[in-house]
Amino acid sequence: MSLTLYNTLTRSKQPFEPIDSERVTMYVCGPTVYNRVHIGNARPAVVFDTLYRVLNTLYPKVEYARNITDIDDKIMKTAAELGENISALSARYAQAYFDDMAALNNLSPTIVPYATQHIPEMINMVARLIDKGHAYNIDNGIEGEQGHVLFAVQSMADYGALSGRSLDDMLAGARVEVASYKKYAGDFVLWKPSADNEPGWDSPWGRGRPGWHLECSAMIEKHLGDSIDIHGGGQDLIFPHHENEIAQSCCAHDGKPFANIWMHNGFINIEGEKMSKSLGNFRMVNDLLEQYPGEVLRYVILSAHYRSEQNFGKDLLDSAWRSLDTLYGFLRTQNDTQAASVDISDSDAYSALLDDLNTPMAISELHKLAREMHCAEGANLPLAKGRLLAIAGLMGLLQQNPEEWFTLSRGGDDISAEQVEALIAKRNQAKADKDYAGADVVREELKLLGVVLEDSREGTKWRRG
RNA sequence: GGCGCGGUAGCAAAGUGGUAAUGCUGUGGACUGCAACUCCGCCAUCGUCGGUUCGAUUCCGACCCGCGCCUCCA
């Protein structure tokens, strides 16, 4: 029973062997907090949260860090537009991010480092990189150039290993104008000067702020160590962000390996198109949460393999909701059954998760387990329920009370539970009187209010649907 | 131009060298006063063309189609 993960670095699946099995380390790139996050930001959070849960079944201690980038030009721009204090703005959106992620049943990472709280560590790393000849600062007194510190990519032999590019290739397709002060076109910024009206910190190279890639390297070094087990993020971060992180960290540590396994989740598209400003098709998590339970979003994300592209759309969300209704429906009939604690290590679902986080397979097994529970009798019932909930729990699914699940608001103006119960009582009286027409009128009335009735031997259950 | 990914039922999505999980939808039936839920059944030959093989959706090659990245977008 061992974990296998796909490593972007080697472009193959490989057995996971932690550097220190007493302390497994994982770092995932978090959001830049200048806006509410969209569903694409939620994917890595859900995927790596699931991996975190799985790792916790295998190792006694897992250190999972997910950063908050709270200093960035986009934040500065937004703050200026809104006339809001930068730190207030970033704090507001960081909290919004936490709220959104919690709504998707993501556990809190063990460490949530903020970029602005690690400026000394970043400056220290830049200084070391300069000392070791991997970086240089621009000290020519020219306005707009003075105060930059750049990483010299040519100083690193295997720069480009993660993204599989040679330096020549990178420059051949470059779409961006090269700043003239760079010694080499591919060099990237470690530290940049701040104008008086911009946020900045004093440094040996003048008042300025860190480049984007630097914060992750510095925070990983501080909280997780020079070498970590797993580094994750979206596929788009492979180049340049992760490539540059590797450059910074490896060179600061004299060539020590940085992350053993690099994992990258695929993109989420909307109705077949990439989310983009020009298309105006961003789907913000908090907007979706007004129409769908967070668990539906999570189920959708987990219903595709994390490395593949996923196409978000209304059909998918509705379908996921129906699927969860079925699963919760089974659990609802066993609400009085006490789930037994069980060993899931030999289950197909667990094996699927260990196989590079094959969540679609695991969800498939989840449905089989639900059906097994549905068919189980006697002493097998608590065991079957235990298995179902344990596997589901590894994916952050099916953890709420089924009764509450079915009475969750599904958007629109909801009739209160008391009113529903009153109408059900009225209908049951009509049924008792053999006034089926009258009973159907009530049921139809409820249906129009978004409430579906289910008669059973134990009485009438209802759900919003 | 460089690097990389993908094309499986109406939709979504796994998977395997020996004729394809699972969910949603649709559909036939059972159950039900009627429904709903649930249960039983049905609905694909895996982009195209070749090759390797006893046998390929799964390996190799070509082609067609779609997509991503190439300096700050998860």
A197 is near strand B: CB distance < 7 Å: no
- pLDDT for res A173: 52
Domain co-membership, A42 together with A187: yes
Q: Which two tokens stand for residue A111?
A: 């460490």
Residues A151 and A68 in one domain: yes
Residues A299 and A353 in one domain: yes
In a domain, A1, yes or no: no
CATH value at residue A318: 1.10.730.10
Q: Is the domain of A226 the same as that of A247?
A: yes
* Domain assignment of residue A435, given as a range: 409-464
User: Phi and psi dihedrals of A217, rounded to 5?
Assistant: -60, -45
Same domain, A257 and A277: no
Contact (Cβ atoms closer than 8 angstroms) between residue A86 and residue A79:
yes
Q: A304, A364 in Cβ contact below 8 A?
A: no
- The arithmetic mean of pLDDT across residues A277-303, rounded, is 91
Query: Same domain for A243 and A363?
Result: no
Task: Give the tens place of pLDDT for each residue, A101-130.
Answer: 999 999 999 999 999 999 999 999 999 999
- In order of A204, A287, A414, the CA distances from A207 in angstroms are 8, 39, 56
User: Which nucleotides of strand B are protein-proximal, with an atom < 7 A from a CB?
Assistant: 1-6, 11-15, 21-25, 32-39, 67-74
Provide the 10 A C-beta neighbour count for residue A1. 9
ipTM metric: 0.94
A436 touches strand B (CB under 7 A): yes
Instruction: Indicate if A287 and A144 belong to the same structural domain.
Output: no
Please compute the mean of the pLDDT values over residues A200-216 and round it to a whole number. 94
A231 and A370 in a single domain? The answer is no
Please identify, among A233, A265, A297, the residue that sits at the C-terminal boundary of a domain.
A265
- Evaluate if residue A42 carries a pLDDT over 80: yes
Peptide bond into A240 cis (omega under 30): yes
**Cβ–Cβ under 8 Å, residues A48 and A106:** no
Lowest mean pLDDT among A150-164, A221-235, A264-278: A264-278
Tokens describing residue A89: 């703005």
Instruction: Please state whether strand B lies within 7 Å of residue A199 at its CB atom.
Output: no
**Tens of pLDDT, residues A418-440:** 999 999 999 999 999 999 999 99
Residue A396 sits in the same domain as residue A433: no
Residue A2 near residue A16, CB atoms below 8 Å? yes
Measured in angstroms, what separates residue A456's CA from nucleotide B32's C1'? 9
User: In this structure, are A223 and A370 located in the same domain?
Assistant: no
Q: Is residue A388 part of a domain?
A: yes
- Ranges A10-14, A162-166, A399-403, most confident: A399-403
Q: How many domains does chain A have?
A: 3
Q: Two tokens at A62?
A: 């897992």
| A264 vs A269: CA distance, rounded Å | 16
Percent of chain A with pLDDT over 90: 80
Q: Is residue A82 part of a domain?
A: yes
- Which are the contacts of A71, defined by CB distance < 8 A and separation ≥ 6? A86, A90, A115, A116, A199, A209, A210
- A303 domain-assigned: yes
Rounded-to-integer distance, Cα A315 and Cα A311, Å = 10
